[in-house]
Amino acid sequence: MVTLTQLNQLFRDEFVRQIGPVFEHSLWIAETAWPKRPFRDVAHLHQALCDTVRTASEEKQLVLIRAHPDLVTCMKLTAESQREQASAGLTALSSAEIAEFESLNKSYREKFGFPFVICARLNNKDTILGGFRTRVKSSREAEIKTALEEIYKIAKLRLQDLCPAN
């Protein structure tokens, strides 16, 4: 954990090391936001980070979305993703439920070209499955927007974990 005062005083490389993991494998967001210091509070920092994503090219936004893992995957997850998926009950599934997630992940990826992203900490297994079924019917443009909004929620919670008293 770190205070906002400490974050505001960090050199760029250390700021990126601390804040970078807030957005899955996307250090460029923290690098771009660093010059906008000092941040008044964690909400201001979160806004600056999200504005960085909002003003990025669609290709950079897609790289960010694609940096997220499929849900219920056997690939190596970041510590943050492991905790988030566990909090939604995604680490204690039956073999039938795992097969359903694998099928939904595949269908979603085939349609949109990126993984289904949802803030697992704000959902549970059933709402996530419902989200899959509903969102796979969306347009690609709508799904890019929805995925980014979910990423902003994930980032907000991760920032609150990093700077809980701010």
Distance CA 145, CA 38 (A): 28
Name the 3-class secondary structure at 163. coil
Domain boundaries, the chain: 4-162
Burial group, residue 57, by CB count within 10 angstroms (0-12, 13-18, 19+):
exposed
- The pLDDT, as a whole number, for residue 166 is 55
- pLDDT (tens, 9 = 90+) of the chain, 166 residues, equals 899 999 999 999 999 999 999 999 999 999 999 999 999 999 999 999 999 999 999 999 999 999 998 888 655 666 777 777 778 777 778 889 889 989 999 999 999 999 999 999 999 999 999 999 999 999 999 999 999 999 999 999 999 999 986 5
Name the 3-class secondary structure at 138. coil
DSSP 120: G
Element (H, E) at 96: helix 95-112
Torsion of Cα atoms, 152 then 86 then 26 then 134, to 10°: -50
- According to CATH, the superfamily of the domain at 4-162 is Oxo-4-hydroxy-4-carboxy-5-ureidoimidazoline decarboxylase (1.10.3330.10)
Is residue 84 within 8 A of residue 154, CB to CB? The reply is yes
Is 68 tagged catalytic?
yes
Burial group, residue 165, by CB count within 10 angstroms (0-12, 13-18, 19+):
exposed
Instruction: Report CA 150 to chain centroid distance, whole Å.
Output: 7
DSSP 72: T
Among residues 25, 44, 46, 68, the one annotated as catalytic is 68
